Amino acid sequence: MKATQLLIIAWVFVCFCHSNIFAQSENNNRGYVVNVGDLAPNFEAKLTNGKTFKLSDHKGKVVMLQFTASWCSVCRKEMPFIENEIWKELSAKDFVLIGIDRDEPLEKAKEFAEQTGITYPLALDPKGKIFQQYALKDAGVTRNVIIDRDGKIIYLTRLFNREEFDTMKRNIFNEVK
């Protein structure tokens, strides 16, 4: 082989590896700005029932944050599973579940909860400020953050994948037990 051919092959190899590494890192964080093992960023939010939710008030409990929005079809698909397989099973235990509605007004969030049939609390996130503590501003919703009793993130999901959902569910149930 000529030196020019070797240089071209080496250049293609480097480009391939670089793009593959970038895709893997992009895939690993999936738009999150937090990681498993991080202390969950604290926030305060108004719930659709008028009460205030402050994450730090729930230390000692397992917490699930479900980032959502009414315009998100994947959220609408996932929410009944969260309601039936997690919330109904654990609502009377040391478990807190808060849906965080991204940048929608109160009436829209209430209507959304009614349409999806959820009974777990829904918080308002004007301008996506809470969302941006956990994910990139332009990243999509349909993501769940599971926080242990010490306030550390133990599991992150993105979109709705049954296998990932079941793994998340096992993590939650193991923590709550």
What is the pLDDT at residue 22? 36
**Angstrom distances, CA of residue 71 to CA of 4, 66, 104:** 53, 15, 10
pTM: 0.84
Task: Specify the 3-state DSSP secondary structure of 156.
Answer: strand
- pLDDT per position as a tens digit, 24-75: 334 456 999 999 999 999 999 999 999 999 999 999 999 999 999 999 999 9
What is the pLDDT at residue 150? 97
- pLDDT per position as a tens digit, 154-163: 999 999 999 9
Instruction: Tell me the C-alpha distance between 79 and 96, whole Å.
Output: 15
Question: Do 72 and 142 form a contact (C-beta atoms < 8 A)?
Answer: yes
What is the pLDDT at residue 84? 98
Single-letter residue type at 155? Y
CB-CB neighbours of 68 under 10 Å: 30
Instruction: Tell me the C-alpha distance between 169 and 82, whole Å.
Output: 9
pLDDT surpasses 60 at 145:
yes
- The answer for residues whose C-beta is within 8 angstroms of residue 170's C-beta and 6 or more apart is none
Q: What percent of the chain stands above pLDDT 90?
A: 82
